[in-house]
Amino acid sequence: MTPSPTQANSSELATLVVRASERVKSDFARAVAVFDFPPPLARAVLLLDQPAQMGCLATQMSCDQSYITRLADDLVKRGLATRAPGADRRVQVLTLTPAGEDLKAKLATAVSRESSVVNALTATQQSELSVLLSGIVNAP
Amino acid sequence: MTPSPTQANSSELATLVVRASERVKSDFARAVAVFDFPPPLARAVLLLDQPAQMGCLATQMSCDQSYITRLADDLVKRGLATRAPGADRRVQVLTLTPAGEDLKAKLATAVSRESSVVNALTATQQSELSVLLSGIVNAP
DNA sequence: AGTCAATATTTGATTGAGTCAAATAATCTT
DNA sequence: AAGATTATTTGACTCAATCAAATATTGACT
């Protein structure tokens, strides 16, 4: 029995998903490289909408908390954020400095400008894509 | 001016693409973990349809050639492939051993069984997705 | 008040996936 | 035959991220 076309194509489709993601990531990396910024750090800056506690950031980035500690070290060293204990003094609250807010705005613009997702698809296509990918992400 | 809905959603869509890819990769990793197999090595095995020269494999996996050297070392050490000089004696040709072919078949089955892309989308949805992602991947 | 469990962050060590540069070997061009 | 090109290999290294253990604080219970 020859392999069903569905099976052959599904593997190609899986690699296409991965390649699209690599494209998204490289768009992102290229956009932030201009600012001499490692992508994970840029991601953290863009997620800091309001002062956030570190564990929360770890959840959003779905990574280990200890990794956030190191990103935060870097942000503070660059003068882009401050770390201050919260009301509950176990937690540390990260807050962007004015320089951080400033950079965040520039990053957002650059990232959006470089985004193939934005540039290559119409709004309609974008929402179709969103539906399909949600199906994958939310699969059991 | 409030940010246009398009701009807000495009960043979400970008992260959705990345999350879908992470899902695809973790499906893959879970499928091959049963065989005590690092994902990149499994990927190489699945790409070895016919005897292939190493540089070619590097192109397919879009990675540095030297990385293929190390994967090949591992495959040979595990008795899954042999390395033999080709007609052009600069090149080394990788060929799956019977054990390698055997494992490859099992890997293919397991990977396809675990694939959310297969399991969560209808055939029609899969081809729609393919069109949209190609648009991203082939963007200028 | 005092103890015990749970939560948040930090540090040091380590892993995995890969790159880069230089070395070697073989082939092609002239 | 010389020099440029191509394929692979090796050693050193980077980057993103995790794990395990340590520390500090809080909450719950008695």
- Domain residue ranges of chain A, discontinuous segments joined by +: 7-116
Determine contact: A84 vs chain B, CB below 8 A: no
What pLDDT sits at residue B45? Answer: 96
Confidence of residue A10 (pLDDT cuts 50, 70, 90): confident
pLDDT, average across residues B114-138 = 94
* Strand order across the A81-85 sheet: A52-53, A92-96, A81-85
pLDDT, average across residues A40-68 = 96
- Distance of CA A24 to CAs B7, B12, B19, B98, Å? 15, 12, 11, 39
What pLDDT sits at residue A12? Answer: 85
- Distance of CA A119 to CAs A13, A114, A116, A140, Å? 21, 8, 5, 32
Chain A residue numbers with beta carbons less than 8 Å from the beta carbon of B9 are 126-127, 130
Mark out the alpha helices in B34-97 (DSSP H runs): 39-47, 54-60, 65-77
What 3-state class would DSSP assign to B37?
coil
Determine contact: B87 vs chain A, CB below 8 A: no
Which of B19, B23, B128 comes nearest A132 by C-beta?
Answer: B128
What 3-state class would DSSP assign to B3?
coil
Q: Which two tokens stand for residue B43?
A: 């990927």
| Domain made up of A7-116: CATH architecture | Orthogonal Bundle (1.10)
Residue A14, C-beta contacts closer than 8 angstroms, at least 6 positions apart:
B24, B27, B28, B115, B117
What pLDDT sits at residue A64? Answer: 97
Residue B4 pLDDT greater than 70, yes or no: no
Chain A, chain B: beta-carbon pairs less than 8 Å apart: 146
* CATH code reported for the domain at B10-137: 1.10.10.10
